[in-house]
Amino acid sequence: MSTQRWLVAILAVSLLLGTIPDVQAQRAPIALRVVFPGTSEPERAYSLRLKEVAERRFPDIRVEMMYIGWPELERKLAVMLPGGDIPDIVMQQEATTLVGMKALEPLDDYLRQSTRLRRDAFFGGVWNFSVYDGRLYTIPILAIGYGLVVREDLLNATGFKLSDLATWEDLKRAARAMTRGEVYGYGYPLGLPRFAWREGPYIAGYSNNVDISDTSEAAKPRYLEVLRLFRELKPFMPPNAKVMGLRDAFQAYALGTIGMMPSGSFFVANVYPMNPKILAHTRAIPYPRGPSARAPWAPVANAGWAIFAASRNKAAAWRVLEEWTTPENLTEQVALINLPPRNDLDITRVAVRAASFYPEAAVDNRRILNDFVAAIDAYGRPMGKINRREEIEVVFQQVMIRLLDGELTPEAAYDRIKAEIDRIKAGR
């Protein structure tokens, strides 16, 4: 009998022990999957720091970083989301596509209840880029300004000064003067639709008071001026412009074969690994103004964190977002790439951290970013949000190639662009 009691006792203890994993399972940490588009080594190191910050601050959360490069981001998410593979957090620049897919969670209610995150801590123009149809979808972590990057030494060698680049006429004259032998005055990455659109007529259009997704009759004369500008700049573009992506254009710039090119404030982060010395001769200015503008407008966008609408861990994701967007944690991100989104960041600390990321060009990096800040400060305008932009960019690229090949006149090119954009906007 005594043996039986022992057996019962052992059985009872075993059963109790058997329940322990369930208790542990209930307390298992929340696994957050974060889509991180930066793939360079510094960005990867930064992402690991973010993971560490989140896990230290919230012991009940584990962060898994998923690295998908910017060019592939939307394409891969387009496969993952309909298939039910839903991550929790994603970094976004222009979130029009994911907002259009209803894939992102509106963050207004979270913000309203937050005690840690305040809207007024952010620059207004930068914040507004996160708002789509009146609803907030991302929390900005970077401001991105766009302008014209110039090799000042090459420009000066032709007798021009930076301050001479005020109008499109100046731009054309400088591009012509800088084009010598293997060096081409103007870089335009026409090879990939995204950049054929943005790092070209879109940025230029801002400085002529036209958003090139606008096909209204009122915008037509200014639109045509943009197309004529690129047609006239063609002889000063590298011969391989038609197959250049943005990375190729950065490479060509880093190797010293491009004199000027439109770019965003992520320029240094991209060119530094290729040739840090070229930054000593680089300046950034607002894109010179066109004939229909009085001022050279500079488009401003942002990058920010968003939460997926179908995430099962939205509350935890929001807690992490609050932590990642504190001034302390944004300092490193801003130092690594681009401009501050918040007005309360300690710029001295940002500069110190930036010097550690760009040791061979600390001063140059600061000067170029200051150039972008000055341009945004004086001429910044929020970048437009364009529905079905990806499709528009493809047809636009097709027409631009034919325009620059001389197959289409600017007028014929405009008619084709208008027809295609109108068709896409009409949902056909």
Partner 1 sequence: MTGSRLRSTGSRLGGSVVTRAAGERADQLAGRAFVRELARRGFPYLLLAPTLAYLLAFQIYPILYNLWLSLTDLHLLRSPVPRFIGLQGYGDLLARDPNFWPIFRNTFVWVAGSTVLQFAVGLAGAILLNSRVPLRAVWRGLMLVPWVTPVVVVGITWRWIYDAQFGLLNAYLRSAGVIDQPVVWLGNALTAWPALLLASTWKGYPYMCLMLLAGLQSIPKELHEAAAVDGAGGAQQLWHITLPLLRPVATTVALLATVLTWNNFQMIWVLTEGGPAFATSVLATYVYTKGFVFFDLGSGAATAVISTLFIIALAVVYQRSITRRWETEVA
Binding site for partner 1 (CB under 8 A): 75, 78-79, 82, 97, 100-102, 182, 190-193, 238-240, 242-243, 252, 255, 257, 387-388, 390-391, 394, 397-398, 401-402, 427
* CB nearer partner 1, residue 234 or residue 242: 242
* CB nearer partner 1, residue 93 or residue 208: 93
Helix runs in 114-233, H state only: 124-128, 152-157, 168-178, 193-197, 203-206, 220-233
Angle between the 168-178 and 220-233 helix axes, to the nearest 10 degrees?
10
* CB nearer partner 1, residue 284 or residue 400: 400
* CB nearer partner 1, residue 61 or residue 190: 190
Count of beta carbons in the 10 Å neighbourhood of residue 18: 9
3-class state of residue 383 by DSSP: coil
Residues whose CB is less than 8 angstroms from the CB of residue 11 and which lie 6 or more positions away in sequence, other chains included: none
Distance from C-alpha of 147 to C-alpha of 301, rounded to nearest angstrom:
12
In the complex, least distance from residue 250 CB atom to partner 1, rounded to whole angstroms: 13
Task: Write out the two tokens for 133.
Answer: 């149809």
Distance from C-alpha of 421 to C-alpha of 403, rounded to nearest angstrom:
17
* CB nearer partner 1, residue 190 or residue 233: 190
Q: How far is CA 214 from the centre of its chain?
A: 22
In the complex, least distance from residue 214 CB atom to partner 1, rounded to whole angstroms: 20
Distance from C-alpha of 143 to C-alpha of 401, rounded to nearest angstrom:
31
Task: Write out the two tokens for 367.
Answer: 């000067």
In the complex, least distance from residue 96 CB atom to partner 1, rounded to whole angstroms: 9
In the complex, least distance from residue 190 CB atom to partner 1, rounded to whole angstroms: 7
* CB nearer partner 1, residue 43 or residue 420: 420
In the complex, least distance from residue 198 CB atom to partner 1, rounded to whole angstroms: 15
Angle between the 220-233 and 410-425 helix axes, to the nearest 10 degrees?
120
In the complex, least distance from residue 39 CB atom to partner 1, rounded to whole angstroms: 16
Strands (E), 28-88: 30-36, 61-67
In the complex, least distance from residue 73 CB atom to partner 1, rounded to whole angstroms: 11
* CB nearer partner 1, residue 1 or residue 79: 79
